[in-house]
Amino acid sequence: MDWMKLKSGSDVRGTAVGEKTNLTPRIATCLGMAFANFLAAKLDKPVSEITVAIGRDSRISGPALLQATAEGVAKAGAGVLNFGMCSTPAMYMSIITPGFEPDGSVMITASHHPFDKNGLKFFVKEGGLDGKQVTQLLEMAATYDPDAVEATGVITEKPFLPTYKQLLADRIRRGLDTDVAKPLLGLHVVVDAGNGAGGFYAELMEELGAWIEGSQFLEPDGMFPNHVPNPENAQAMASISEAVVKAGADLGVIFDTDCDRAAVVDADGSEINRNRLIALISAILLDEKPGQTIVTDSVTSAGLKKFIGDWGGEHYRYKRGYRNVIDEAIRLNAEGISCPLAIETSGHAALRENYFLDDGMYLVTVLIVRAMKLKQEGKTLGSLIADLQEPVESREIRLNITAEDFREAGKVAIQKVLDHASFAEDWHIAPDNREGVRISFDLDGGMDNGWFLLRLSVHDPVLPLNVESDVPGGVKAMLTKLYDVLKDCAGIDFAPLLAAIGA
């Protein structure tokens, strides 16, 4: 078996159900053994003194993989805290929460991916493991024979979600500067958990006094029968938008399966995700303290940059990948640049006040605080982003690279665009270009009112292409110009680009 095929960035991920299963309980057991020994070496402690917490989302393969991972940790000689159903952010929080404080934790999840997928995310006190460390774990796991080892560690069931829920409740009371039992009285919140792990958030809202009529898909169901639990999915967002309007709620909140991503819906059913979500939390943070820097991924809109600037902030675009964005925000703070937020358009968000933990549920909790304050003023969250300029047209196209050396073919294409832009008068290379190549255009007599970003996917043989225009017909015009530059590049399938320009 090729263990490295299970590596997905900084996670382990594979198929856990069906004929093509490659993430089995036995593999999970080996990974549990590897993680316990990894922690012992890292902390310079006997493995018998190591404790590992393990939780899972609602996937049908979750219980078996959790149990297998726990047995692996126990076979290595370490202790296990079995959290059962949990969220990914909560798994990290347990490490720094008095009364728990394991040496490391593991979350069994495959985020928003289909029901047959699953995976493992690993955490230590410094945060999630990076890609190199995950490679090391896989290499270690490949050397173990779990059948040859008897378990000496003890597995203890100890739920953590009630404690995590209390941490969120404390944040709401702190944000509203009150210690009353029900600080959200008068607020109507619709919660959509997509049958993932986040249904308990509706309980939290109700316990704090909010009305939750219209909330949906709160029960964990690993087959995800209602919609994909993904804040970027059109069907999922349409579903919660409809639920908010039907219930007459003040807002709706939606989570992905393991609750590290989220989005919200305004009272009129307007979706607040992607650029709108970034604008909303940026406005709240900059309203509290202007002059701060907001770090985002590379595909954010030109309108968002202007919006953040108008609120007194600095917009800093960086490479896609939530770990990239978070690590850059941490680096900027270390250099003395105040940066309270690292966020991707996908909904991954990490706040400095929350240890730069990638936590969609914490983000939503901060938004709930502001929603309550605005409710008392007769306003909604949407009022904060009324001035956000949004594109008239936007597209995302994925160009498959067929060349055997896909990285080289992708780099050649990107360099060809850069070379052309260096002398073409109407092609402007973005000054904050930190990934691939971002070009802006002056369309129909305007200035910087259209752009595209062409980049090489981190893992896949793909060139993702994002394009936005503030004028009708701008997307087609820019894509036509781009194709004229790239059409002679070998090893790239331009069919999606040709379809977009109607050629």
Encode pLDDT of 157-173 as tens digits: 999 999 999 999 999 99
Instruction: Count the helix, strand and coil residues of the chain and give each as a percent rounded to the nearest 5.
Output: 40, 20, 40
Residue 98 has pLDDT above 80, yes or no: yes
What are the structure tokens assigned to 482, written together? Answer: 């781009």
Cα gap 156→83, rounded to integer Å: 9
Give the mean pLDDT of the chain. 96
Residue 398 has pLDDT above 80, yes or no: yes
Encode pLDDT of 270-304 as tens digits: 999 999 999 999 999 999 999 999 999 999 999 99
Encode pLDDT of 66-97 as tens digits: 999 999 999 999 999 999 999 999 999 999 99
Report which of 58, 56, 87, 81 is spatially closest to residue 358, judged by C-alpha positions. 87
* 56, β-bridge pairs: 85, 108
- Three-class secondary structure of residue 141 per DSSP: helix
- Three-class secondary structure of residue 419 per DSSP: helix
Average pLDDT (200-220) is 98
Residues 370 and 411 in one domain: no
Question: So what's the pLDDT on residue 321?
Answer: 86
Residues 271 and 329 in one domain: yes
* Residues contacting 298, CB < 8 A, separation 6+: 317, 318, 319, 320, 434, 435, 436, 438, 453, 455
Number of domains in the chain: 3
Binning pLDDT at 50, 70 and 90, where does residue 460 land? confident
CA distances from 8 to 43, 118, 135, 458, 495 (A): 25, 11, 10, 10, 28
Residues 184 and 280 in one domain: yes
Question: So what's the pLDDT on residue 503?
Answer: 64
Cα gap 427→418, rounded to integer Å: 9
Write out the residue range of the structural domain in which residue 479 sits.
Answer: 393-500
Residues 380 and 397 in one domain: no
- Orientation angle between helical segments 161-175 and 360-376, nearest 10 degrees: 30
Question: So what's the pLDDT on residue 248?
Answer: 98
Residues 172 and 141 in one domain: no
Task: Give the end of a domain, one of 159, 183, 210.
Answer: 159
Average pLDDT (482-498) is 96
The CATH number linked to 261 is 3.40.120.10
Task: Give the end of a domain, one of 350, 385, 420.
Answer: 385
The torsion angle over the Cα atoms of residues 492, 497, 498 and 499, rounded to 10 degrees, is: 130
What are the structure tokens assigned to 254, written together? Answer: 């939606």
Cα gap 435→221, rounded to integer Å: 38
Residues 206 and 232 in one domain: yes
Cα gap 232→111, rounded to integer Å: 12
Question: So what's the pLDDT on residue 432?
Answer: 86
Encode pLDDT of 322-335 as tens digits: 889 999 999 999 99
The torsion angle over the Cα atoms of residues 332, 335, 337 and 340, rounded to 10 degrees, is: 50
Encode pLDDT of 8-43 as tens digits: 888 999 999 999 999 999 999 999 999 999 999 999
